[in-house]
């Protein structure tokens, strides 16, 4: 019997230090269906009871994965200082995304949840590339092996080296590029990660506090920082956006392309898996850091040159994920 490859290939480290499966939450943004229509679809496919909480928020309780939240974009829904929103949210549905937020899922559960993409397309869900103003994303929230684990620290460094290449491969939607939610990592943060190997997350946090002023970066580390070192986090980061502590990365870069028939959640998964593949390859990560130092020291070297350098090193080390 021929065995098919899994839609979501394994990450290099599949378990936490406690020997439990590393879980991963997913957030999908789109326009088109209402929160209630989306909740009913989820309940029909995965079981559960739809509970309308008002304020443009629906919870699908007790699905086979646990509770799944469906809500109009939370950042705008809770802006009580904008009185027009209470009357205007429904009228602005074409621009403000509905967001589906899952609980942490195993890789097998991700495989199953991924089938929701087809259903969402059938009820008219639209992604980022359906219109000029539709800047919608997918957030991938993979659990860390442990906050101070060598692999966690190397994953942060690997992301710093790869971010421009990831943006290039994802071809991030123009609207999302100009919106303030997926900013590029500051150059100083990248350089510090290239020049210094940190052995403790707390030390990395102290360095990062010199560069990070917002959660609105393509990889948001603040939930992990707050989970791992809550007191240090409070001392270092004066962030006004509410940050929920959780033992995960918060990967915000990928576009939501929910309406495209050849797209699925495999694409953002594979983008993240590329980061972890580099983190698991000591030789490649060291080569990328050395290459960054050379690039950073060069005058007027274009970003496209750095992207090509990354691509060449990934190819030479046979380390490209299928993205």
Distance CA 168, CA 166 (A): 5
Whole-number pLDDT of residue 292 = 96
Q: What digits encode the pLDDT tens for the residues 58-102?
A: 999 999 999 999 998 755 555 444 444 555 555 455 568 999 999
Tell me: pLDDT of 179 over 80.
Answer: no
**Cα 323 from Cα 312, distance rounded (Å):** 15
Q: What is the pTM of this model?
A: 0.92
pLDDT tens-digit series, residues 268-311: 999 999 999 999 999 999 999 999 999 999 877 788 999 999 99
Contacts of 87 (CB under 8 A, 6+ apart): none
Mean pLDDT of 181-187: 91
Backbone phi, psi, residue 57, to 5°:
-135, 130
What's CA 25's distance to the chain center, in Å? Answer: 9
Alpha helices in 173-248 (DSSP H): 174-178, 187-195, 201-208, 222-228, 230-236
Question: Tokens 């948001």 correspond to what residue?
Answer: 220
- pLDDT tens digits along 192-221: 999 999 999 999 999 999 999 999 999 999
Tell me which long-range contacts 190-196 makes (C-beta under 8 A, separation of at least 24).
190/160, 190/161, 190/163, 190/292, 190/296, 191/292, 191/296, 193/156, 193/157, 193/160, 193/161, 193/289, 194/157, 194/160, 194/161, 194/289, 194/292, 194/293, 194/296, 195/289, 195/293
DSSP element (H, E) containing 53: strand 49-54
Average pLDDT of the residues of the chain:
90
What per-residue confidence (pLDDT) applies to 124?
95
30-39 mean pLDDT = 95
| Per-residue model confidence (pLDDT) at position 92 | 53
Q: Which residue has the higher pLDDT, 6 or 229?
A: 229
Task: Output the pLDDT for position 80.
Answer: 46
């Amino acid at each position: 019997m021929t065995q098919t490859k899994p839609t979501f290939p394994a990450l290099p480290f599949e378990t936490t230090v406690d020997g439990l499966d590393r879980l991963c939450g997913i957030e999908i943004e789109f326009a088109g269906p209402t929160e209630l229509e989306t909740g009913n679809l989820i309940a029909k496919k995965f079981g559960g009871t739809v509970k309308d909480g008002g304020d443009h928020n629906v919870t699908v309780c007790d699905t086979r994965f646990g509770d799944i939240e469906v809500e109009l974009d939370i950042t705008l829904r809770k802006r009580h200082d904008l009185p027009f929103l209470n009357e205007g949210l429904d009228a602005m549905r074409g621009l403000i995304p509905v967001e589906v937020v899952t609980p942490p899922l195993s890789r097998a559960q991700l495989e199953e949840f991924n089938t929701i993409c087809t259903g969402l397309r059938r009820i008219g869900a639209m992604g980022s590339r359906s219109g000029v103003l539709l800047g919608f994303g997918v957030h991938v929230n993979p659990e860390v092996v442990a906050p101070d684990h060598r692999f966690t620290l190397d994953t942060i460094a690997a992301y710093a080296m790869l971010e421009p290449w990831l943006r290039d491969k994802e071809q991030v939607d123009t609207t999302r590029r100009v919106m303030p939610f997926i900013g590029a990592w500051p150059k100083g943060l990248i350089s510090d990660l290239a020049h210094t190997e940190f052995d403790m997350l707390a030390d990395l946090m102290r360095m990062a506090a010199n560069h990070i002023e917002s959660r609105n970066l393509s990889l948001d580390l603040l939930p992990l920082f707050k989970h791992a070192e809550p007191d240090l986090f409070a001392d270092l980061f004066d962030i006004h956006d509410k940050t929920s502590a959780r033992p995960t990365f918060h990967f915000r870069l990928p576009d939501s392309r929910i309406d495209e028939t050849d797209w699925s959640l495999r694409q953002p998964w594979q983008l993240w898996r590329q980061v972890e593949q580099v983190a698991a390859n000591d030789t490649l990560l060291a080569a990328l850091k050395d290459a960054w130092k050379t690039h950073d020291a060069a005058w007027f070297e274009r970003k496209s040159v750095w992207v090509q350098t990354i691509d060449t090193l990934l190819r030479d080390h046979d380390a490209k994920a299928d993205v």
